[in-house]
Structure 1
Amino acid sequence: MRSRMGMLAVVGLGLCLTSCTQVAKGLRAANLGEDANRLAAAAEKVESCDKLKVEPAIQEEYALGSALAIHWAQQSGGLMLSGASEEKLNAYVNTVGRNLAMQSPRPELSWTFGVLKDAENFNALSAPGGYVFVTRRLLQGVDNEAQLAGVLAHEVAHIVLKHALHQYVSVKVSTCKGAAVTGAVVSTVASKVVGASRADGRLDLDSDTGLMGKMVEGTVDAFGKGNRRDEELAADALAVELLLSAGYDPGEYSLLLGKTTGGGGLLANHPSAKDRREQISRLVEARRNNADPLARVDVASLQRPALPAAFAVVGPVKKSTGVAKDAK
């Protein structure tokens, strides 16, 4: 398996070849030798890889999402589903989450919410196809249902806005270009990705575990680099709309963000908690003062429901361990 730096070098060369396609074709037309022919052929293959930049089919989204969901669960010690108390907690989180998802532009997804056993990391994660998880540690830090709803709404927004799918598409394109630049298809996986670039750009992940594993590995690696600042703010903006639609006070979500240190994620390109809270305040104020009475929000009527008895199973509140992770 190539090193990460090696892959970056290959992809960089691929991008160069893309811009040189016409030059290479000209060299071949001028019959300047076999090297020019090989360069032109590689450039054409690289150019073909851009056909992978299409919206994945819903079956492809579900396949990727389910595999990523299994990965997140395994990395976090599994799901809290042992015994009646944990099952009640899981049912509660699903009720809150699905209510928010039904307010979103993608209510038709098979939305699934769960609590991970991880008691160390203040974390929320999501995967394409409607999978949303929160850690036990995060639940120990929320004060009411509105704060929980804010976290879930933010993850729902990432799925609706297809941020992870955009990263997945980039993985497909880079895999294809890597194979094209080397001049040979070095694996069955690469062969299928290159083949998809010559068809409709979509992959049948369910039919090939090797292909599935490679695409999940690449997407998880892309997740580690984090979402862009504008994507995080966009997810917060949509989360505010979902919260208002469901009758929750977004101010409570803002208070929860204030409990985290160092901003909303692990990387420098994430917006700070201060920036996120200021945006939430502006959005709520705009809805409060909206000239359209149907769009205007009565902030005083927004709800901050208490947590149910089932919540006791998460255990006592712990002191913050630092930056809140927000993996997508």
Structure 2
Amino acid sequence: MGLRMTVFAALGMGVLAAPCGGLNPKNLTTGSNMLGKVSEGLEKAEECKKLDVDPSVTEEYALGGALAIHFVQRGGGLMLEKDSGKAASRPGEVLHDYVNIVGKNLAAQSQRPTLEWTFGVLNDSKSFNAVSAPGGYVFINRKVLETVDNEGQLAGVLAHEIAHVVLKHSVRQYNAAKVKTCKMVVMGESILSPGAADALSAGRKGDGTLDLDKEPGLLGKLAESTADQLAKGNSDEQEFEADRMAARLLVSAGYDPDDYRRLIAKTTEDTSLGVNHPKKSERVKNLVSYVATLKGKEGEFPELAIEGLRSPPLKPSAMAALRGAAPAVAKDTP
């Protein structure tokens, strides 16, 4: 029951309990005190909306790190282990280095080049998926590398996730979690440690940002709530928006955006991407339309140079490393 309804019910019971001969002044005083507490509670709940602001960079990194751990656990771990204990053979590290080179080159073309961008490969060979978190964390499943035909397609997947970070799509989910948690605490419907409650209160009374590094319990709760929302998938418009920015990043980095379109078109629909994820046919149509608007009358991009756009092959050593590393059993890491 919401705060307003709880209060109205309580006040109603107080009135109904009054004797027929008239209202007891004591009951009126009690009701007045309760009404005052209600008013104070509603004011605090309204203040929770102040938490719906962009987090500080420190707050963003803290949230991103917590979500990154969550993604790695659910994705079967990172492909960074040495193969058969041989120091000279590190298939996971070869893949890690390759994906980071491609990813950081794309991120450098974005509007947030100074983030500490981190890219990794998750040992999930069943789901064609990639995920990202605030602060510049981007992970792709092993299945992606086993599916793409060239480096341009790999770059397209990474560029799409980079766009989600730049556009702060997951931050919107995080802000919603902050506001909701704050309101629940004010209404007495959620129990947090005193320190976590104080941290939320400080953000509510201050500029809306939180110091999550000092409150790991609060960080864990908000990260879990954010992850639950992200699991449902982004909205259609957010996905389209990320695809459009990805196309610009690809061109800026010298890749042919048509490779990314071909990848989207050839992949099968995956229900693991979330209930809100748009169909691939809609994404392809949106992407084709957007790229067409970037081209000039002669088929050129007016703002971005298209000379030398390429579709480079995947790095042979990285693909050899992928074939040499046995996929892990898909399970959550404790």
Instruction: State the TM bucket, normalised to the shorter chain.
Output: 0.7 to 0.9
CA apart distance, 1:267 = 3.7
Matched residues, number = 293
Task: State the distance in 1 between where 2:303 and 2:311 align.
Answer: 21
Structure 2 CA distance for partners of 1:213 and 1:295, relative to 1, 3 Å: same
Task: Go from structure 1 to structure 2 and tell me whether the alpha carbon gap of 1:40 and 1:244 turns closer, same or farther (over 3 Å shift).
Answer: same
Whether the 8 Å CA contact 1:46–1:176 is kept in 2: the answer is yes
The two structures have a TM-score, normalised by structure 2, of 0.80
Query: Match for residue 81 of structure 2?
Result: 82
Structure 2 residue corresponding to 1:94, chosen from 96, 100, 121: 100
1:288 to 270, 290, 295: 295
- Structure index of larger Rg: 2
TM-score, normalization: structure 1? 0.82
Aligned residue in 2 for 1:6: none
Matched residue, 1:179: 185
Aligned to 1:121: 127
Secondary structure at the counterpart of residue 140 of structure 1? helix
What percentage of aligned pairs have identical amino acids?
A: 45
Change (3 A) 1:265 1:251: farther
Which sections of structure 2, spanning at least 5 residues, go unmatched?
Answer: 8-27, 83-89, 325-334
1:142 equivalent in alignment to 2:167: no
Aligned to 1:312: 320
What residue ranges of structure 1 are gaps of 5+ in the alignment?
1-8, 18-29, 317-328
Letter in 1 for 2:231: G
SS at match of 2:138: strand
* Preserved CA contact (<8 Å) 2:232 2:273: no
Q: Deviations over 1:38-88 (max 9, x none)?
A: 221111011111111111000000111111111211221211112323212
Q: Tell me what 2:87 maps to.
A: none
In 2, the alpha carbon distance for the partners of 1:276 and 1:297 equals 24
Which amino acid is the alignment partner of residue 302 of structure 1? L
Query: In 2, distance between residues paired with 1:128 and 1:136?
Result: 22
Q: Which amino acid aligns with 2:323?
A: G
1:173 offset after TM fit, Å? 0.5
State how far apart, in whole Å, the 1-side matches of 2:81 and 2:245 are: 33
RMSD across aligned positions (CA): 2.6
| SS of the residue 2:140 aligns to | strand
**CA distance 1:237–1:172, change in 2 (3 Å):** same
Which secondary structure does the structure 2 equivalent of 1:125 belong to?
strand
Mapping 1:159-238, distance limit 5 Å: 159-182=165-188, 187-188=193-194, 189-238=196-245
Q: Identify the residue that residue 161 of structure 2 maps to in structure 1.
A: 155
After superposition, what is the alpha-carbon deviation per residue over 1:230-271, rounded to whole angstroms, capped at 9, x for unaligned?
111100010000001111111111111112233796344322
Worse-superposed segment, 307-316 or 37-46: 307-316
Q: Aligned partners of 2:305 and 2:271: how far apart in 1? A: 26
Supply the distance in 1 between the matched residues of 2:50 and 2:59 (Cα, whole angstroms).
16
Structure 1 CA distance, aligned partners of 2:321 and 2:55? 39
Q: Which amino acid aligns with 2:309?
A: L
